[in-house]
Amino acid sequence: MPANMDQTVIGIIGMGLMGKMYARKLSAAGWRVHACDMRDKFEALEQEFSDVPRIVIYEDGYGVSRSSDYIIYSVEAEMIDKVVAEYGRATKKHAIVGGQTSCKAPEVAAFERHLPSDVEIVSCHSLHGPNVDSKDQPLVIIKHRASQKAYDLVRNVMSCFGSKLVPLTAEEHDRITADTQAVTHAAFLSMGTAWRANNQFPWELTRYVGGIENVKCNITLRIYSNKWHVYAGLAILNPSAKKQIRQYAESVTDLYKLMLGGHKQELEKRIKTAGEFVFNAAGKEGEPLLLSDEVLDQFSLGKVPKERTPNNHLSLLAMVDCWWKLRIVPYDHMICSTPLFRLWLGVTEYLFRKPALLDEVIDIAVEDNTFRSDDLEFTFAARGWSDCVSFGDFSSYRDRFEQIQSYFAPRFPEATRVGNEMIRVLLEKT
């Protein structure tokens, strides 16, 4: 195996947003890159990268597989088996192969099924999106079937991202990503679905502007501005994710029923028991909050009102209830957390570790009907996404996602800009 940049070629099969980000980062660091996407994108890709040094675009994965020393499959999780089946047999002898999918169980199974036995397997996963600076973000590296020499080469290649390299097994990766991403995505997908069902652009309503509401709006739009398959693969192909998304829907439904029924004492006991498990048992009492009022108020898509409309924050209450029911302590996985997860944990912590605010939220949940119709649609949405994931239906998932995506599309550029700044400020604190 070549040991230096001049002799080593990095192959990338799949030039979506993450594939392109990888190609540009590796090229800028001095690595030679051979890359491809689907055949009908060859000419456009060749033109796009014509002025980028050290990147050669191939018509298909056969050329990339035959010529590269470390090959990264950067394709949709549900397509990994099909793509590896087509190009895996052309893999250069004694090469290293890995993948960049969000769910490693099908990825590793595809590699074991279709790659020659002399090929080594070292996978990776950057736990952030293509528009987030990779510096100091978690980058998982999985030594599945490889010598120490091959593993060290991959670590050397990945060092150019400036990320925190996290060694895990494929099984550990899938469990942790389910814990940190699956329910987070489900919550924001459900918010977007509910707002669209009510024909709302939340930043135009004073009750959804300022503080915690800023995070909800920004992250929801950030998720819907991405490709649907980024979230579908993790949710549908990861068994742990299915269980967690189902529990989130159940938590939303249970808490909403308690609110509707006016069962304040039962609601309060359940919420505070969940909060005790997630936050106090984790030893967070007395530690500074991840997010402050000043940080939360900086990032609004609308004009912050002088007085905020109290909100019962069903989505946040259900998140902590879900973690409690599944016995998940989110702080245990901070080393592998995405920026979105840290923001979401930050706002749940902000609510649960401020006793007066939590008491106010519980009162509002039972006594105030302002958000009842919003919460009804949110409950429908959470159950709908859970059903979609449980059925394993990629087509339905895509249809649901893209319908809501088109509704919010006009505000994506501003939301991305504000969201990037929000993430930057958060990373300075964590």
Segment-wise mean pLDDT, segments of 10 residues, the chain, 430 residues: 76 96 96 97 96 96 97 94 97 97 94 97 92 89 97 96 95 90 92 90 60 79 89 89 94 97 97 94 64 58 59 93 94 82 87 92 91 92 96 93 93 77 66
Query: According to the model, what pLDDT value does residue 376 have?
Result: 95
**Backbone torsions φ then ψ of 249, nearest 5 degrees:** -60, -40
The DSSP symbol for 336 reads: G
Residue 301 is predicted with a pLDDT of 47
Q: How many CB atoms lie within 10 A of CB 47?
A: 10
CB atoms within 10 A of CB 49: 20
Supply the pLDDT for residue 307. 64
pTM of the model: 0.82
Q: Can you tell me the distance from the alpha carbon of 137 to that of 140, in angstroms, rounded to the nearest whole number?
A: 10
pLDDT score of 205:
59
The residues, any chain, with a CB within 8 Å of residue 412's CB and separated by 6 or more, are 221, 224, 225
Give residue 88's pLDDT.
97
